[in-house]
Chains A and B, each alone.
Chain A
Amino acid sequence: MDYQKEKVKSPSITPASDRSIMLRFEDGISEYIHEHVFYFHSLLVKKFKKKIANTSPAYNSILIRLADGVSVWRMIAKLKQLFEEEHEISIEQKQTVKIPVCYDKEFALDIDRVSKNTKLSTDEIIHLHTKGKYLVYFLGFSPGFPYIGGMDQKLETPRLNSPRIEVMQGSVAIGGKQTGIYPITSPGGWNIIGRTPLILFDWNKISNPILQMGARIQFYAISHKEFSQHQGTLF
């Protein structure tokens, strides 16, 4: 466990709509900003439980959607008050979670496209992708979808020109500078390079999703046989 203490810069706080408020920290994407988002997200949810209907933490912002009847302006005043107090950002560093991925052609529908774009061989792509240490910045887009940072920029590949109507659950993919996993079958426009046999989103276990905000992850390659053995295992 590792804790860090420091004085905190207040975010800008503005109405996003007549029913929501945007908190923006510094511009940019970094682990430093992420820690602010993580810390204040937990604090806000705890402190204003009855006033907040739901939240969307992201790279450098937190969107707060208000509960019925709560006034935007009154809530903004309360938030400003909160940020006038002193805060110590303390983040509990999480253990790295290892996620098995089968990079076989059967699942890696776009690995040739990535290969052509990056001028790397399939083996080199797998090597770079499994070597990386990743951070789940937040979940967004669709149920359980992790926005993951830390991909080797040599793997950068533009998104598909037209998204697929259906990307299979567990698909591991590259979209621009980011890598991601599709926890449920959904539409998607990223380059699919493999698939994990594990179930990463389950409606019955949402309070403890393995791919939660702040999770540290790493991928490791498995064979097709191992994929079949693990298939459908709940993480």
Chain B
Amino acid sequence: MNLTVIKPGFQDLVQDLGRDGYTHLGISPTGAADKASMKIANLLLGNNVNDPVIEITLFGGSYSFDCTTTVCFAGSHFPASIKGKEIPFLKPVAVKQGDILTISGSTSGARCYLAIQNGFNVAKLLESSSTHLMSKSGGYRGRNLELNDRIPFNKPEKRQFPLDLKFAIDYDRSVIRATPGLQFNLFDKPYQELFFGKEFTVSHQSNRMGIRINGPKLQKNTSQDIITEGLPLGAVQVTGSGDSIITFVDHQTTGGYPKIANVIAADMHKVGQLRPGDSFTFEHITMDKAESLYQEHEAIFKQ
């Protein structure tokens, strides 16, 4: 049972929730850029939340199925059709043997997720099916899907799909909430205010390692470099030239740039939906508030 790539999209990747437990060896967890949407696509099929999916970025391609099964899309809306008939998002969709699924460019954020009943079936690397692009490992051959790739998927069984699930996820990309970062105090008040007040725009040089954002130039109040230390997911690093980068899923595990802020866990899915040209502001959130927002966010998936 395979999905065959007839025409690849911009960046089609096999992903799951990531490969935890190895950052001390320099191996970043990777995993889906928008884990909330990935979980939703799986849950709507009655899958395990961690079943491997295909992550589609900016625009998709065409894919054929050699076996009848059920798929489900979640995330930003990308027009998708089978035999010219538009297929809905957030609903299980039956596909027949020989069907060709065509996905075009996103009409909203950067990514959508194609889940399949019981998941795609690629060899696991350190217990995970996520693609680790930097080392060209994991997922499907450690890379983006290409023409004629055949991605195996698991056998579907007869199943009642959970049709009554509703997920209240906020996809508004104009405001991203953040707590003060590990080196917040290395920035004087005017810079802290610029950071939490001015607009940032997502650069074209963004990828899964880091989202580069153009906005006010920021400068730390010391010429001394900080000692290289671990990088939390979502940390906003400020480079020597004053530019900001949001540390993202394929991030290097340690770094030496000061971190002015950190995107809250409950908004990381929004970072996965940022696309070049998007403008947004950071909203200051206390650590206490961030933690309760995280708990509320996690509860959404436990229905």
What is the interface of chain A, defined by CB distance below 8 A to chain B?
14-20, 22, 24, 27-29, 41, 45, 53-63, 65, 67-69, 71-73, 138-145, 147, 184, 186, 203, 206, 209, 212-213
Contact = CB atoms under 8 A, between A and B. Distances in A.
Given A138-B254, A144-B26, A206-B22, A56 B231 contact: yes
Interface string B215-241: 000000000000111111111000000
B182 interface: yes
Contacts, number: 143
Contacts of B266: 18
A139 B232 contact: no
B168 interface: no
Contacts of A71: 291
Contacts of B22: 54, 206
A17 B235 contact: yes
B190 interface: no
B137 A203 contact: yes
B264 interface: yes
Interface of B: 20-27, 29, 125-126, 132, 134-135, 137, 179, 181-182, 227-235, 252-255, 262-266, 287-288, 290-291, 293-294, 298
B229 A58 contact: yes
B21 A53 contact: yes
28 contacts: A17-B233, A17-B290, A18-B287, A20-B230, A27-B227, A29-B227, A54-B20, A54-B21, A55-B24, A55-B230, A56-B230, A58-B230, A59-B229, A60-B229, A61-B227, A61-B230, A63-B230, A65-B23, A65-B233, A67-B20, A72-B291, A139-B24, A140-B228, A141-B253, A141-B255, A142-B252, A143-B26, A203-B125
B302 to A, nearest CB: 10
A56 B229 contact: yes
B140 to A, nearest CB: 15
B255 to A, nearest CB: 8
B135 A184 contact: yes
A143 B134 contact: yes
A58 B233 CA distance: 16
B264 A18 contact: yes
Contacts of A17: 179, 181, 232-235, 262-265, 290
A22 B182 contact: yes
B258 to A, nearest CB: 13
B249 to A, nearest CB: 13
Nearest to A45: B24
Contact of B291 (A16, A45, A58, A73): A73
A140 B253 contact: yes
Contacts of A41: 24
B77 to A, nearest CB: 28
Contact of A19 (B132, B135, B230, B233): B233
A80 B270 CA distance: 33
Contacts of B132: 143
A207 to B, nearest CB: 9
Given A56-B229, A63-B230, A16 B262 contact: yes
B253 A53 contact: no
Contacts of B182: 14, 16, 22
Contacts of A206: 22, 25, 27, 126
Contacts of B27: 143, 206
Given A17-B179, A54-B29, A144-B26, A60 B227 contact: yes
Contacts of B231: 56, 63
Contacts of A27: 227
A65 B26 contact: no
Given A19-B233, A140-B254, A56 B134 contact: no
Contacts of B287: 15, 18, 72
A69 B252 contact: no
Contacts of A53: 20-21, 29
Contact of B298 (A29, A60, A69, A184): A69
Given A17-B265, A18-B265, A18-B290, A141 B29 contact: no
